[in-house]
């Protein structure tokens, strides 16, 4: 209870501090949602840079405040850049957020996910239950890049904690309830709406704004919590404004809400247990 209250305070405070710092966030991400990732990063108050050429990946990572790696449309070329950027980030203790999009869906994604987890020190790992289940070694039924149904919330909490302990990082499992754990601490976030799954990139954007928070914080657990709850709150606000119009309008309202999200709204709306 005390914890919950302190997390909420820390989250709201971090939002303000991050907007003041405007951290540079290096994204090596997929080309499907990269524009939304950039706009979400700007909206939340940070400055995005996308650079995936091996010739500059390490360079750019080393001048950034955070690195976000997303394997949504990985290929042999960009995987090497992810590794190079990740090593440069690790050398300078720049936090890395890793989004293992579609882990479990192909051998190539599985192998790359494992490689990134082995070769890099990841600060925050964020995925849906199918993806994190794959990393946990739990038999998961990944169906493409969207979460498979039929996995229960109880599993999500246990898997979140297991992976956090085993991989020694903060883990976020997104779903109806989001679970955040660093192995010691655990929080549940009840923000968000189902419609978020009908817009592509809401997961990628969540990882990106988590990177923005990570780039302005020393507490990766709080940054992870802030990222996932920010997207959930923005989703709720967008839903209230535009759900009846359709998913195109909902997506516009989502960016609107992120761009106007500040401590006051966070304190009022965040549902952290």
**Distance of closest approach, residue 196 Cβ to its own copies, in angstroms:** 11
Q: Is 273 annotated as a binding residue?
A: no
- The b-or-e profile of 151-172 (16+ CB within 10 A means b, else e) is beeebbbbbbbbbbeebebbbb
214 touches 123 (CB < 8 A): yes
Nearer to its own copies by Cβ, of 164 and 205: the residue is 205
User: How far apart are alpha carbons 182 and 37 in whole angstroms?
Assistant: 25
User: How far apart are alpha carbons 117 and 258 in whole angstroms?
Assistant: 30
Nearer to its own copies by Cβ, of 170 and 202: the residue is 202
Nearer to its own copies by Cβ, of 137 and 246: the residue is 246
Q: How many CB atoms lie within 10 A of CB 264?
A: 11
Phi and psi, residue 219, nearest 5°: -110, 100
**Distance of closest approach, residue 53 Cβ to its own copies, in angstroms:** 4
Nearer to its own copies by Cβ, of 114 and 219: the residue is 114
**Distance of closest approach, residue 108 Cβ to its own copies, in angstroms:** 4
Residue matched to tokens 């405070």: 13
**Distance of closest approach, residue 20 Cβ to its own copies, in angstroms:** 14
Nearer to its own copies by Cβ, of 62 and 157: the residue is 62
Q: How many CB atoms lie within 10 A of CB 21?
A: 16
- Structure tokens belonging to residue 126: 């964020």
**Distance of closest approach, residue 184 Cβ to its own copies, in angstroms:** 34
End-to-end CA distance of the chain: 8
Q: Is 174 annotated as a binding residue?
A: yes
Give me the residues that bind its own copies (CB under 8 A), please. Answer: 24, 30-36, 38-39, 42-43, 47-56, 59-60, 63-64, 72-77, 102, 105-109, 143-146, 198-201, 245-249, 251-260
Q: What is the DSSP letter of 147?
A: P
Q: Is 201 annotated as a binding residue?
A: yes
Binding site, annotated residues: 50, 126, 174, 201
Binding site, annotated residues for substrate: 50, 201
């Amino acid at each position: 209870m005390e914890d919950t209250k302190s997390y909420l305070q820390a989250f709201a405070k971090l939002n303000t501090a991050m907007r003041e710092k405007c951290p540079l966030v290096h994204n090596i991400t997929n080309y499907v949602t990269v524009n939304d990732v950039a706009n979400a990063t700007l909206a939340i108050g940070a400055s995005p840079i996308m650079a995936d050429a091996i010739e500059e990946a390490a360079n750019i990572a080393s001048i950034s405040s955070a690195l976000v790696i997303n394997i949504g449309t990985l290929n042999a070329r960009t995987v090497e850049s992810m590794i190079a950027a990740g090593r440069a980030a690790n050398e300078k203790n720049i936090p890395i957020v890793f989004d293992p999009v579609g882990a479990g869906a192909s051998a190539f994604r599985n192998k790359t996910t494992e490689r990134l987890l082995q070769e890099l020190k990841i600060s925050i790992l964020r995925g849906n239950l199918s993806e994190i289940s794959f990393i946990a070694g739990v038999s998961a039924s990944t169906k493409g890049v969207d979460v498979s149904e039929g996995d229960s919330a109880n599993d999500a909490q246990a898997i979140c904690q297991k992976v956090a302990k085993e991989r020694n990082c903060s883990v976020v499992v997104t779903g109806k309830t989001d679970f955040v754990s660093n192995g010691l601490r655990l929080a549940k976030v009840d923000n968000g709406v189902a419609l978020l799954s009908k817009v592509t990139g809401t997961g990628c954007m969540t990882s990106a704004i988590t990177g923005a928070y990570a780039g302005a914080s020393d507490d990766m657990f709080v940054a992870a919590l802030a990222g996932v709850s920010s997207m959930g709150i923005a989703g709720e606000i967008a839903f209230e404004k535009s759900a009846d119009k359709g998913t195109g309008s909902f997506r516009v309202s989502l960016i609107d809400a992120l761009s106007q999200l500040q401590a006051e709204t966070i304190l009022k709306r965040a549902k952290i247990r």
